[in-house]
Amino acid sequence: MKKTLTISMIAGLIFMTSLVGCSSKPSTDEMKQLEDLKAEVASLEKEVSSKESEKAALQKAITDKDAQLAQCAKDREALQTRLKSK
């Protein structure tokens, strides 16, 4: 995911530099576009971080549920053993 974001940033910067051409400095419009791209990149990086945190939380929840399921299976087996022995 980070590779895609980095590649997108580089492609955007290459695109922006190609627009500039041979001029000595970027125009106001080009600077605004660059700032907009930087803001978008920052927003996307924040979103990626948020999604990674969410993914970690979901994986922990799955691990917890698996542990509960294993404990339930163990308890059920113990209960069936007790019922058969009576």
pTM (2 decimals)? 0.56
Decide if pLDDT at 20 tops 60. no
Q: Residue 86 has what pLDDT?
A: 73
Name the phi and psi angles at 23, rounded to 5.
Answer: -65, 155
Decide if pLDDT at 44 tops 80. yes
| Cβ 37 vs Cβ 12: under 8 Å | yes
Which DSSP string do the residues of 33-45 spell out, in sequence order?
HHHHHHHHHHHHH
Residue matched to tokens 């209960």: 79
Q: Tokens for 34, please give them.
A: 């660059």
Domain residue limits, the chain: 2-85
